[in-house]
Amino acid sequence: MTGRRLLTYGFAALLVIWTLVPIYWLFTMSMMFKTELLAIPTHLYPHEPTVSNYTRLFGGTAIGPGGAELPVIGQAPIIQNGLRNSLLVAVVVTAITMLVSLPVAYALGRLQFRGRTPMLFAIITTRSYPPIAIILPFVLLYSQVGLQGTVRGLVIVYLTLTIPMVIWVMTSFFSSLPRTVEAAARVDGNTRWQAFYRVILPMSWPGIAVATAISFMVCWNEFVFSQFLAAGSPAQTLPPAISTFFFQISQPTEMAAVSIISIVPPAILAYLFQRRIRNLNLVDPL
Amino acid sequence: MATTAEMAPPQIESATGRGWSSSRLSDGQFATLLTVPVIVALLAIVGYPTAYSLWTSLHRIDLIFKRNEYVGLANYQEALTSPALGHALVVTLYYTALVTGFALVIAVGGALVLNEKFRGRGFVMALVILPWAVSLYATAIVWKYLYSAEWGMFNAVLQGLSLVDRPVNFLSESLAIPAVAVAHAWQIAPLGMYFVLATLQVIPEDLYKAAKVDRLGLFGRFRHVIFPYIKAPLLIVMVLVTVEAARAFDLIFFMTGGGPGDVSTTLTWEVYRVFYKNNQYGQGAALGWLLVLLTTAITTVYFLLLFWRRRERPDTAAAADLTIGET
């Protein structure tokens, strides 16, 4: 018995290490001066921890290890602008997505009708197409109608990602509610519509919260569309800004700090909602 | 104003009342009312570019001289017969197989650990979802830094333990694809882990007791008690991961750029290369359609699996599916 317990703890430790090591390393790098990063042998933790890679992203300067002043990071305005755009796009898209998707998910999750199966299939298919395969027509279309490099353009194209995702998740949630709920509400004199928003909706806040979080994360983490539809424009979100930073004047310690910042919002959401994500089946909503 | 409206007694429309009422509709009509506007809007957003892409794939496009020539299926023929496509397909298959294999091992292993009782279990369970929250592009950056030959953590540890004399080049010709696949598996495994865990938790306690009576070892218990239960969910996770791996682009973009040489040129990267580096729009669109065909085919399998599972084991499927009411 103790042998098995030991084994369990051993594997649990392994699981934690596996999960955390990459993030630990990114964080460690972000807390180093670039001179320390190049030390031989490589330091496995910052011997001279510094937050300068973060402060220099937001307009601060810092004193380096040799006493020299480190200037503000040159790409800082682009990164800040990217952060603002990412937030704006994610919030707007998520708001529209929730309004639009909930009724559809309700129908798919609780009503029997012809066309339900094909509709589910269409939704899962739109969820699985590779953006890179259809990006070119979007680029050409967008440059014709003036949506290239605009926040509006990004919002429109992100809706095609989030709406199927949220419909998928919420269909799963709605179909998990007890079968008799609407019937009871209808007996009490509610119309179908009232049964939906007076009875079903208030029961559904847990699911709606998760779906909102997921929609936000999908937008926040999206790279391909923003790279090809908005890179280099004032509307570019954080990922293409990071891509520029990464490929042009990449200073790994500063890059690590930016990456950590990009990870924080979705990580917080995932942590807050992990119990619900675990219970809400994201893999199989049928 | 809004408050008065809310406080007004709810108007109860009876099914036989005058005027329009949603209650008069049948299930089907109500469902149509709810779904059709959104589906139509979605199709409108995706439809034009899709049609445009189809049109492009049937033409030879010349943006400079604004000449478009109809060439029928020539682009498809060219794409299908080019050696680059064969290579990209092989790379995609190899990459997909590795990601799926790694992710399944992590998902099942992690779920088995989390199904045990130990102190700190709740904490670990919350922690393991973290990689899933990390975007693919950030995953690529993190792992590129872990793999770095100059200051990467892996090489630092390997050299510190004197396991290697000189830094390993993890993104070399032979290791690039497995290295990227490990990174992808790290990011994608948590969802599968949660899914398998949900299934493990519905295995009746009696079965474990019976296994004990039969003196089954760890492996025997996995083989005879656990595996029959997680078989179906595993298949589903497998197909889902396969789609994700087949459409991977961010990781290749940030980690290898399709290289070294063309070693990691997956189908997605090939589409990108033809579109953006060579500006062969017609052929790029044709390749894009082949890629969509591939992912749609895998998705169809996934979809059929879900249905098949529903029919085969309604009891376990339903139990594993949704337990949100309990939280």
Which residues between 158 and 177 in chain B have a beta carbon less than 8 angstroms from any beta carbon of chain A? 159-160
Does some domain include residue A286? no
Query: Chain B interface, mutation test: which of A47, A128, A272, A280, most B Cβ atoms within 10 Å?
Result: A128
Is the domain of A111 the same as that of A56? no
Of A133, A175, A267, which has the smallest distance from its Cβ to B271's Cβ?
A133
In the beta sheet, which residues pair with residue A87?
none
Q: For residues B287 and B289, give the distance between their C-alpha atoms in angstroms, rounded to a whole number.
A: 5
Is the domain of A205 the same as that of A64? no
Query: Chain B interface, mutation test: which of A11, A19, A32, A200, most B Cβ atoms within 10 Å?
Result: A19
A·B CB contacts under 8 A? 311
Residue type, A182: E
The CATH classification number of B82-326 equals 1.10.3720.10
Q: For residues A85 and A235, give the distance between their C-alpha atoms in angstroms, rounded to a whole number.
A: 6
The yes-or-no verdict on residue B130 having pLDDT over 80 is yes
Whether residues A137 and B151 touch (CB distance < 8 A) is answered with no
Q: Of A36-40, A126-130, B175-179, B298-302, which range is least confident?
A: A126-130
Q: For residues B141 and B190, give the distance between their C-alpha atoms in angstroms, rounded to a whole number.
A: 19
- Structure tokens given for A194: 């009232």
Nearest alpha carbon to residue A169 among A198, A196, A208, A205: A208
Q: pLDDT tens digits, residue range B53-109? A: 888 888 887 766 667 788 888 888 888 888 888 999 999 999 999 999 999 999 999
Is the domain of A53 the same as that of A86? no
Span A174-197, mean pLDDT? 84
Span A91-101, mean pLDDT? 95
Q: Of A7-11, A91-95, B166-170, B276-280, which range is least confident?
A: B276-280
Whether residues A283 and B120 touch (CB distance < 8 A) is answered with no
- Which among A26, A43, A70 is the end of a domain? A70
Min Cα distance A68 → chain B (Å) is 23
Query: What is the structure's pLDDT at A218?
Result: 93
Does some domain include residue A208? yes
Between residues B322 and B179, the one the model is more confident about: B179
Secondary structure of residue B23 in the 3-state scheme? helix
- Which among A40, A70, A100 is the end of a domain? A70
Looking at chain B, which residue has its C-alpha nearest residue A16?
B124
Query: What is the structure's pLDDT at B327?
Result: 28
The yes-or-no verdict on residue A121 having pLDDT over 80 is yes
Please name the helix (run of DSSP H) or strand (run of DSSP E) that holds residue B60, with its range, or none: strand B59-62
Span B126-131, mean pLDDT? 93
Is the domain of A52 the same as that of A95? no
The yes-or-no verdict on residue B174 having pLDDT over 70 is yes
Query: What is the structure's pLDDT at B321?
Result: 41
- Which among A70, A98, A130 is the end of a domain? A70
A75: CB partners within 8 A, 6+ apart? A241, A244, A245, A249
Is the domain of A113 the same as that of A59? no
Span A161-176, mean pLDDT? 89
Residue ranges per structural domain of chain B: 82-326
The yes-or-no verdict on residue B6 having pLDDT over 80 is no
Q: pLDDT tens digits, residue range A22-71? A: 999 999 999 999 889 988 888 999 998 999 999 998 878 888 777 788 88
| pLDDT classification of B307: cutoffs 50, 70, 90 | confident
Average pLDDT value for chain A: 88
Residues of B in Cβ contact (< 8 Å) with A224? 249-250
Q: Is the dihedral of CA B193, B196, B202, B206 positive or negative?
A: negative
Q: What is the 3-state secondary structure (H, E, C) of chain A?
A: CHHHHHHHHHHHHHHHHHHHHHHHHHHHHHCCCHHHHCCCCCCCCCCCCCCHHHHHHHCCCEECCCCCEECCCCCHHHHHHHHHHHHHHHHHHHHHHHHHHHHHHHHHHHCCCCCHHHHHHHHHHHHHCCHHHHHHHHHHHHHHHCCCCCHHHHHHHHHHHHHHHHHHHHHHHHHHCCCCHHHHHHHCCCCHHHHHHHHHHHHCHHHHHHHHHHHHHHHHHCCHHHHHHHCCCCCCCHHHHHHHHHHHCCCHHHHHHHHHHHHHHHHHHHHHHHHHHHHCCCCCCC
Of A111, A113, A160, which has the smallest distance from its Cβ to B42's Cβ?
A160
Main-chain phi, psi angles of B263, to 5 degrees: -55, -40
The yes-or-no verdict on residue B125 having pLDDT over 50 is yes
Query: What is the structure's pLDDT at A230?
Result: 93
Is the domain of A196 the same as that of A95? yes
The yes-or-no verdict on residue B326 having pLDDT over 60 is no
Query: What is the structure's pLDDT at A263?
Result: 96
Query: What is the structure's pLDDT at A113?
Result: 85
Secondary structure of residue B3 in the 3-state scheme? helix
Task: Count the neighbouring beta carbons within 10 Å of the beta carbon of residue A115.
Answer: 16
Is the domain of A221 the same as that of A92? yes
| pLDDT classification of A283: cutoffs 50, 70, 90 | low
Query: What is the structure's pLDDT at B313?
Result: 52
- Structure tokens given for A271: 């942590």
In whole angstroms, what separates CA A113 from the centre of its chain? Answer: 33
Q: For residues B3 and A25, give the distance between their C-alpha atoms in angstroms, rounded to a whole number.
A: 53
Is the domain of A142 the same as that of A233? yes
> Which DSSP state fits B67?
E
Main-chain phi, psi angles of A251, to 5 degrees: -105, 105
Is the domain of A160 the same as that of A275? yes
Span B131-150, mean pLDDT? 95
Does some domain include residue A195? yes
Q: Of A248-252, A255-259, B94-98, B103-107, which range is least confident?
A: A248-252
Is the domain of A210 the same as that of A271? yes
ipTM surpassing 0.85, yes or no? yes
Between residues A220 and A181, the one the model is more confident about: A220
Is the domain of A233 the same as that of A132? yes
Query: Cα-atom radius of gyration of chain B, to the nearest Å?
Result: 26
Q: Is the dihedral of CA B96, B102, B105, B107 positive or negative?
A: negative
Contact A236, A85 (CB under 8 A): yes
Nearest alpha carbon to residue B181 among B262, B252, B133: B252
Does some domain include residue A284? no
CATH number, domain containing residue A175: 1.10.3720.10
Q: For residues B299 and B239, give the distance between their C-alpha atoms in angstroms, rounded to a whole number.
A: 8
Judged by a CB distance cut-off of 8 A, whether residue B143 touches chain A is yes
Residue A54 belongs to domain spanning:
2-70
Whether residues B324 and A279 touch (CB distance < 8 A) is answered with yes
Omega cis (within 30) before B83: no
Which residues between 76 and 115 in chain A have a beta carbon less than 8 angstroms from any beta carbon of chain B? 100-101, 103-104, 106-108, 111-115
Query: What is the structure's pLDDT at B64?
Result: 67
Total tally of structural domains belonging to chain A: 2
Q: pLDDT tens digits, residue range B246-301? A: 999 999 999 999 889 899 999 999 999 888 777 788 888 888 888 888 888 888 88
Whether residues B30 and A281 touch (CB distance < 8 A) is answered with no
> Which DSSP state fits B99?
H
Is the domain of A135 the same as that of A222? yes
Judged by a CB distance cut-off of 8 A, whether residue B23 touches chain A is yes
Q: For residues A79 and A244, give the distance between their C-alpha atoms in angstroms, rounded to a whole number.
A: 10
The yes-or-no verdict on residue B208 having pLDDT over 90 is no
